[in-house]
Structure 1
């Protein structure tokens, strides 16, 4: 598919393969400059009802297509995105603020994910068979699904919902974040040339759009990625109509650093995995627990590497830390930084707010062994600030790492792999890594423990969350 979209043009909502304008419009801002981006639609209840009706109508035929038909269209969609990726990457930098190199990575991953989902068929399973009967477990699609997408990874996390929903035979409505609606609207526009009408639709709007979708009686599933606070509201809303729901929520990921590590080898990756995307990734390291024998050496190496990390506009060369994505989050991160002086935290590396710019820039900070009950330890800052904490007893380190209502990711860094895996198996998190962090793949389930979410995205587990389970009993030799 060679369709090209104009990323500079006002898009309508994508409803039934048409661009549908709205009476009211709104805009987001470029977080690097504070300047307004172009207008986007504000969906109404009528728009939602219309889109849901078309999705419901399309589901009848789409759910009956073969796996290979759906897979071929998903592959064609990936090709169409690839044909537009250069312009789309620039649009992502403008609306999200991330460096262009990271925008390219997000599109690389999106294409890998979509093409992988096109190979992942959920097949019937034979549970029992004898001369008298055969019992299958089958996985029919749910129906009309809705993906509510966050502002930190709007392309990958949007398409990470689309692929599993469509390949399992569902139709999907995407609701982008009001802070980052542009790329998702353009992805919907690209999809108009690929998918049948009503199969993939995109609705942009304000804060009232989410409840219109979560409460809609003809939507069968909500897949939400976002904050714990909003996730609770989504679940409460979905309960009114007993919708299926997947929640991928916040994290406060610990990394346990053992005393036998090669500090020079691991610090570049560990430091990058704190400040990537300005710390605005739910699965980044948020707390370092460093063995006391190597604490000082590790801290000094972290500081030295952090000195080389450049903060600036996403189009500048060699930038790692772009702006905080929006003013609301900017104020939250500034408030966390204000705790440094209020609480007399010792800083190993003193970051701060770049007041002279029009954008939402904050430079990285490293807090040196604060009290365990400090906000920087107990809360997810979602910004470029991280605490280093000492440990000496392994059981104590595990207990402190698990002492959180969240459980999204965690990692252990250790030369002794048996020890590393033993510690990893005691950490309560949906993804745990030994000698790495933030590895994800389309064929590996991704979700959280405790308040970090319910259910999983991706992998066979994630795809099955877009399906009902049906036990099918077939008796032989009865007639």
Structure 2
């Protein structure tokens, strides 16, 4: 795949319906993590740009019919979906170049799948009951009808990370727009093209001015305006738990609605009656996909103590054969991590694993490539469940194998972190596995390889993995307020 020489549809911010540069002319470099080459520049917004975007979103929400016209919203989402499909190949090249994701993964979570996910909200706008009436009832001596309305929350600040940027941009923007909100989207500075392209295509699709605004900035102080500004009604953020805490605290002064999809340290529990030879290699391989940069990746493998060594051998054999390298090569499932900071952070975890236990495979920066932010697929064993590599989100291609004594011990270890995003359980007895699935404190659980990742399934976490849900009907409702109106009963004809 040829890397883009000119982005075309991803050079400018979208503010108030206009594609614009930063007011002070500043730009950010967009770096290809596989080559460390600058593939282009994008605007580096200052405070005035963000203020203008918020003001445009406020005007569009307060002075137009966007929040009440479901037909208009549905037509705009259809047009946006179609524009995304028309530019799919351009977007594919942009995604691979700025994220380092293997091109082989783009038909799934990175590109084609998420575009299709828009159909979910397009369909909901035909069927969702934004208003319903409760049965007539005497309330405090007054016969009353009560109308329950679901109304758009207002101006939404959507802040997204770099691992699956187009997917997360669409996830947040589609739900908020379908609900009748207006949006200011701020992507990670490492992956700006995926957001700027969305803004350009929104113009092409005919979205009304100010309904969607896109700003790019490398200045955290500038970005923080979105979490504190009084004209922003809601914040939806995906990223690390540490940053999520700061977002939540910043939003507290104005009591904004907050949706957080944060970190994970998800466990796959293999029960003593499961077929290790069928289960473990698949789990070990999945940790390496997109260099482990997935919040719901099953990065802890829990196995019966008596079968620990067998599981380690199976996992090592599988990880040793994962094809990785150049993300433009369709044969690879793993590319680089996104930047030097992330690479160095992963390597620090590898070093701590060597101190706390045993590196079975990998554990080093690679010497296979002269350039690029690559790290080796790494397997860790013989660490306690309290070790840093077994407790903290590494966001790299690392799997930790942990032994347990019985089912209760497995649940204790699986739930023994600050996170609760996802889990999985494997058993020859589906009912036994399902019983354990019901015990985990996690927002999603897979049983015997069944997949929860679907547009109709709400996604989010327990504990410090987040607040709220995305996708499903719940993803729409996170951007809706609830209003109750009491009226006297209407006379029957």
1:98–1:10 CA distance, 2 compared to 1 (3 A): closer
366-375 or 18-27, larger mean C-alpha shift:
366-375
User: What CA distance in whole angstroms lies between the structure 2 residues aligned with 1:478 and 1:339?
Assistant: 74
Cα displacement (A) at 1:382: 0.7
1:430-465 Cα deviation digits (max 9, x unpaired): 111212376322222111111111111222222111
> Conserved in 2, the CA contact under 8 Å of 1:257 and 1:412?
yes
1:68-104 Cα deviation digits (max 9, x unpaired): 3311211111110011011111110110001001123
1:274–1:130 CA distance, 2 compared to 1 (3 A): same
Q: What is the DSSP-based 3-state SS (H/G/I as helix, E as strand, rest coil) of the residue aligned with 2:30?
A: coil
Query: Residue 238 of structure 1 is aligned with which of 251, 270, 274?
Result: 251
User: What CA distance in whole angstroms lies between the structure 2 residues aligned with 1:10 and 1:248?
Assistant: 26
User: What CA distance in whole angstroms lies between the structure 2 residues aligned with 1:341 and 1:399?
Assistant: 25
User: What CA distance in whole angstroms lies between the structure 1 residues aligned with 2:427 and 2:366?
Assistant: 37
Cα displacement (A) at 1:478: 8.4
> Conserved in 2, the CA contact under 8 Å of 1:410 and 1:437?
no
**Corresponding position of 1:128:** 135
**Corresponding position of 1:349:** 361
User: What CA distance in whole angstroms lies between the structure 2 residues aligned with 1:64 and 1:93?
Assistant: 35
1:275-309 Cα deviation digits (max 9, x unpaired): 11111100000211112343333322222222220
User: What CA distance in whole angstroms lies between the structure 1 residues aligned with 2:451 and 2:346?
Assistant: 22
**Corresponding position of 2:177:** 166
> Conserved in 1, the CA contact under 8 Å of 2:57 and 2:182?
yes
Query: Residue 39 of structure 1 is aligned with which of 35, 38, 41?
Result: 41
1:337-361 Cα deviation digits (max 9, x unpaired): 1124333x22332342114521110
Cα displacement (A) at 1:325: 0.6
Query: Residue 229 of structure 1 is aligned with which of 235, 239, 242?
Result: 242
1:111–1:196 CA distance, 2 compared to 1 (3 A): same
Q: What is the DSSP-based 3-state SS (H/G/I as helix, E as strand, rest coil) of the residue aligned with 1:348?
A: strand
User: What CA distance in whole angstroms lies between the structure 2 residues aligned with 1:266 and 1:72?
Assistant: 44
**Corresponding position of 1:58:** 60
**Corresponding position of 1:255:** 268
User: What CA distance in whole angstroms lies between the structure 2 residues aligned with 1:473 and 1:117?
Assistant: 30
1:238–1:71 CA distance, 2 compared to 1 (3 A): same
User: What CA distance in whole angstroms lies between the structure 2 residues aligned with 1:258 and 1:126?
Assistant: 49
Query: Residue 147 of structure 1 is aligned with which of 146, 150, 158?
Result: 158
User: What CA distance in whole angstroms lies between the structure 2 residues aligned with 1:130 and 1:453?
Assistant: 38
Q: What is the DSSP-based 3-state SS (H/G/I as helix, E as strand, rest coil) of the residue aligned with 2:267?
A: strand
Query: Given the two structures, how large is their TM-score scaled by the length of structure 1?
Result: 0.94
> Conserved in 1, the CA contact under 8 Å of 2:156 and 2:235?
yes
346-355 or 467-476, larger mean C-alpha shift:
346-355
> Conserved in 1, the CA contact under 8 Å of 2:146 and 2:486?
yes
> Conserved in 2, the CA contact under 8 Å of 1:251 and 1:409?
yes
Query: Given the two structures, how large is their TM-score scaled by the length of structure 2?
Result: 0.92
Query: Residue 315 of structure 1 is aligned with which of 294, 317, 328?
Result: 328
Q: What is the DSSP-based 3-state SS (H/G/I as helix, E as strand, rest coil) of the residue aligned with 2:38?
A: coil
User: What CA distance in whole angstroms lies between the structure 1 residues aligned with 2:450 and 2:264?
Assistant: 13
> Conserved in 2, the CA contact under 8 Å of 1:26 and 1:39?
yes
293-302 or 355-364, larger mean C-alpha shift:
293-302
Q: What is the DSSP-based 3-state SS (H/G/I as helix, E as strand, rest coil) of the residue aligned with 1:193?
A: helix
1:362 aligned to 2:364?
Answer: no
User: What CA distance in whole angstroms lies between the structure 1 residues aligned with 2:176 and 2:282?
Assistant: 33
**Corresponding position of 1:114:** 118
1:344-396 Cα deviation digits (max 9, x unpaired): x2233234211452111011111123222221111111101111111121111
User: What CA distance in whole angstroms lies between the structure 2 residues aligned with 1:422 and 1:65?
Assistant: 44
Q: What is the DSSP-based 3-state SS (H/G/I as helix, E as strand, rest coil) of the residue aligned with 1:447?
A: coil
> Conserved in 2, the CA contact under 8 Å of 1:98 and 1:314?
yes
Cα displacement (A) at 1:262: 2.5
Aligned pairs for 1:19-98 (under 5 A) are 19-22=19-22, 23-59=25-61, 60-98=63-101
**Corresponding position of 1:392:** 405
User: What CA distance in whole angstroms lies between the structure 1 residues aligned with 2:326 and 2:419?
Assistant: 32
User: What CA distance in whole angstroms lies between the structure 2 residues aligned with 1:386 and 1:471?
Assistant: 50
**Corresponding position of 2:210:** 198
1:346–1:477 CA distance, 2 compared to 1 (3 A): closer
Provide the aligned C-alpha RMSD in A: 2.0
What runs of 5+ residues in structure 2 fail to find an aligned partner? none
**Corresponding position of 1:278:** 291
User: What CA distance in whole angstroms lies between the structure 2 residues aligned with 1:455 and 1:95?
Assistant: 29
1:129–1:277 CA distance, 2 compared to 1 (3 A): farther
Query: Residue 266 of structure 1 is aligned with which of 262, 279, 287?
Result: 279
> Conserved in 2, the CA contact under 8 Å of 1:10 and 1:38?
no
